[in-house]
Chains A and B, each alone.
Chain A
Amino acid sequence: MVSGKKTKATRSSVAAARSSVVASKPKPWGTIIAVIAVLGLAGGVFGYAYSQIHANNVKEAALAKWKPSDTNKDPSTQLAGIVIKEYKGSRHVEPTQRVAYDQTPAFGGPHDSQWADCTGVVYDKAVRTENMVHGLEHGAVWIAYNPDQVKDDALNKLKAKAEGQQYTMLSPFPGLDKPISLQSWGHQLKVDNADDERIDQFISSLRRNPNTYPEVGASCENSQFLANPAPFVAEKPGADAVPMDGGKDESKTEGQQPNMSTPPPSGSASTPPSS
């Protein structure tokens, strides 16, 4: 035991002595520090560049998810709670007529010939749905809010998303069943508060998405309407309202099947649609 220990100690002291003889140099601290410093600096620069690019890429990827493209024609299908219905671009109604919309707020179907101006407009008062729907047909997103539930800060957040932003409109919608409801042609999403990230995702996915609205290239400008917006009508539409399919009165159908505008042979006018 004792001898063993001694041997070890001797060996190590020999080794130490040897190394101090063979390689006995004082460590080149200057060089070591310089090398570490240069490497550290290079690593730092690279790390910074990488983290910036990486953060940017992550942001891009997050955005791309909600960006319409050839391979992702309607990104809104990934949104939790989205309601999608297919509506054809269509029939115009008179300023005095109502449409029996199948959704509240409506997001497709027959509409007034005057589209609500959607050049980034904040409507302070509630607007007639028949006009708003026409704005949707031109590619706009309509942000509707319940004026009893969305005020002050929350309302300002919505205004920032709409005011001056082309193809966007914001208006109160009295009696709305949720605080906020987003509409684009054939699409709707209801959310509870203005901070919900799905609001921006909905806008990114659907505003002027050429795959989801009927009249690509249509203008949002309508200063005539803006000067005097048609007011919201709270009463439910009556029996005389235009139905969602545009009704059987083909003479009022704009641009569709012009041949049908001639009066049908007697008897067939009241024939119910075959089912």
Chain B
Amino acid sequence: MSGLIAIARNEVRIGMRNKWIMLATAILLVFALLLVLLGSGPATSSSTDGLTIISASLATLSVYLVPLIALLLSFDAIAGEIDRGTLQLTLASPVSRAAVVLGKFLGHVIVLSIAVMIGYGLAGLCAFVAIENVAAEGVLDLARVVGTSIALGATFVAIGYVASACVRQTGTAAALAIAIWLFAVVLYDMALLGGLLADPEGVFATDLFPYLLVANPADAFRLFNLTALDAAGASTGFAAGGDVLPFAPQLAIASPFIWIAVTLWLTVVMMQRIKP
């Protein structure tokens, strides 16, 4: 256990000094502030809470940026350490291989949480000052987006480990991480959309589509958050789709957690077989 904590602390230290992570956090903050500025204009002075609307925008932002930060943190975790010879040192010490994986995960999720909380926390604070009459529900909506964004990020941290354990070179791991991001965040949605347009009434659209949607943790995150925000009165245009789902859209949030469990387990299994 002390080994796990030592590894987590080490990863937090390295992550907090990583320029790429700083840059990504800064981008997250800039985008979040832009959304706050645009979202707090006079047009939104409707019955809906301003923070709720901003939360909807931030959820969409999260789908793109949070997996990117997560993969930036994790792609190097195993391949890079083998490359540099530090994994040999770690594994020669009495710490267990499972503790190495879980310690890294804990450390990376802490770094990610700090990045998300800085980005969205500061943006939320600005919104709080800028918007009059903030309701408690609005704060709750923002907290939900922050919490689920961290869960989404944790999923991609763990997915990044699997990619990193598959290869032995840092460069290959980086390319694989970019491919994963592109596929999960951009191409997957396009493919689903293509399937829907090709046959709007077919088996794909009615039976397969909802499950394929939640199978992708990024889409599951979006579905969960936008459904919750629709209930709060922000018109995201997502509710129309929610009615035809064969399951309660709230259950979608299970998807990232299942992904975390499976990919972490897979990483531990792969780690046991690594011969550094």
A-B interaction: no
Q: Which residues of B contact A (CB under 8 A)?
A: none
